[in-house]
A and B are shown apart, each in its own frame.
Chain A
Amino acid sequence: MAPVRLSNSVLGSFRAASRRSALWRRACLYHSYEYNQAPPFPPAESAILSAALAHVPTHGFTSGALTQGARDAGYLDVSTSLLPRGVFDLIYYHLVTQRLALKDSVQFLAEGEKGKSLSIEAKVRSLTLARLCANEPIIHRWQEAIAIMAQPTYAPDSIAELARLADEIWFLAGDQSVDSSWYTKRASLSAIYSATEVFMTQDTSKGFIETGKFLDARLEDVMKIGGFFGAMGDWLDYTGHSAVNVLRSKGVRI
């Protein structure tokens, strides 16, 4: 019987998974272009969790969805109790796979092709909207998911995944910053994304138009604040340099 034969190998992979969860949450981001990155989940878990996601619209993020998924993938029902973090693994699977799907789901006109290419801010907006759209099939269950993610046990992993999403969006938008603005950009985008995601869970407008407008308003706020601090920084810089240069011209040895 196929499910029974598979259970031994599944047990093995699930035991290894709890040791391996640290590998999945790699802090290091060094990205090599010379070989493909390994798939983030081993085949057995991938099969169960992807099947389980199909049941989330009906069952929600519950162990019921996981059980249905295990059955659909041809494993025993009890296999799901070996997932190290239970239902959170299902949410995590959704987060990771949707983040990795971004680079294939959104393509931008290459520079120099016909028509104007977008600015980085516009690309960030498109990518964020694309990622929000990926939540559409399960948006009516997303509030439970957020509640589970907010639990103290799972909050660090959720926040790390949010940071990775922000990094992915900026990278795909073509951001080349390598100074402290690397941090401020990702922090602000993480805040905007999570606020918009929560807004979307209670948005009832057609095609989530209100969510789009909410996102535009938040992005504009960030531009204004960024613009203000940038201008202040420029002014301080200029005033400081001018003061030093005036003193030097008066003969002060600095």
Chain B
Amino acid sequence: MLCCTRTLALASLRSAHIPVLDFLAPSIILYSQKSRFHSTPSPIEPPANPHAEAIQDEKPPIHHLNKTQSDFLDSALRVNQAGELAAVLIYTAQTPPLIRSHPHLRPLMKHMYDQEAGHFKTFNELIAKHRVRPTAMYPIWHAAATVLGWGTAVMGREAAMACTEAVETEIGGHYNEQIRVLLDWAERCENRGEDLGEHIKTLIKELRRIRDEELEHLDYAVEHDAKEARPYELLTNVIRGGCRTAIWISERV
């Protein structure tokens, strides 16, 4: 019934990240979690092993995420994936009507689309790797983003650029907020003498890069007469309100 031979695939995944601590001082990793507050004294003492002391002096211990932090990462990755899905679909829907009337915009639209597709791929991989639940509103956002992209493109070039400007403004602020929270964690960990972990450090770098690219799109949109759209205020406010609502919903659902 079960076809298996012992493989290193699963074991190597687990041990690759903490190769030394894993076998030298496993109990330190298991029982140093802050979230455990039961009063029964833990029956396993940390080993009085000089090696463990020495290793700990060289490398600070990895910070164990508490529930608030895990929840934050969970909802952050979920929202970011939803946002990039929407971005990809908006560009996909905007491009044909826009290119027909303004063929010179083709390279710009392609460049922005490629960058968004890269962001989408990044978050898809992170979600699959960290077993985060994707948003249940996926098909609804799929439809809404397509309609938004197509609708603004049919309204005209300025409206399409205004849509991009509105979405990127919201997204830029949203990523900034996330980076701020993660940097706050990094600072607290440093004060406590813990290591935040490679994954989160890489995540901060990635989020910064992605935020910079989104703001670059914002600049392109403004450069291409986003502010000339009529009715500018109504369009931008409706789209920004919609983005904020979508972000709020995706964080939870």
Binding site for B on A (CB under 8 A): 9-10, 12-13, 16-17, 20, 23, 26, 28-36, 38-39, 42-44, 103, 106-110, 113, 118, 126, 129-130, 133, 167, 171, 176-180, 182-183, 212, 248, 253-254
Contact = CB atoms under 8 A, between A and B. Distances in A.
The 5 closest A-B pairs by CB, nearest first: A12-B39, A13-B40, A110-B9, A30-B74, A31-B131
Interface of B: 1-10, 13-14, 17-18, 26, 29-30, 33, 35-43, 62, 64-65, 67, 70-71, 73-74, 77, 81, 96-97, 100, 124, 127-128, 130-134, 136, 138-139, 150, 154, 197-199
A33 B17 contact: yes
11 contacts: A30-B65, A30-B131, A33-B14, A34-B18, A43-B42, A106-B2, A108-B9, A110-B9, A179-B138, A182-B134, A253-B100
Contact of A42 (B38, B62, B97): B38
Contacts of A28: 67, 70-71, 74
B136 A108 contact: no
Given A36-B29, A110-B9, 9 more contacts: A9-B41, A28-B67, A32-B64, A38-B36, A42-B36, A44-B40, A106-B4, A108-B3, A109-B4
A183 B136 contact: yes
B130 A30 contact: yes
A29 B132 contact: yes
B38 A178 contact: no
B30 A36 contact: yes
Nearest to A16: B38
Given A30-B74, A34-B197, A183-B136, A107 B7 contact: yes
B67 A26 contact: yes
A103 B18 CA distance: 19
A13 B42 CA distance: 11
B42 A34 contact: no
A133 B64 CA distance: 34
A16 B74 contact: no
A103 B132 CA distance: 18
Q: Which of A10, A28, A118, A171 has the most CB of B within 10 A?
A: A28
A16 B73 contact: no
Contact of B38 (A12, A118, A180): A12
Contacts of B14: 33, 36
A31 B199 CA distance: 11
A43 B44 CA distance: 10
A49 to B, nearest CB: 14
A33 B139 CA distance: 30
A124 B166 CA distance: 44
Given A34-B199, A107-B7, A110-B7, A182 B39 contact: no
A129 B2 CA distance: 8
Nearest to B126: A178
B130 A31 contact: yes
A20 B40 CA distance: 13
A118 B138 contact: no
A9 B41 CA distance: 8
Q: Which of A31, A33, A44, A253 has the most CB of B within 10 A?
A: A33
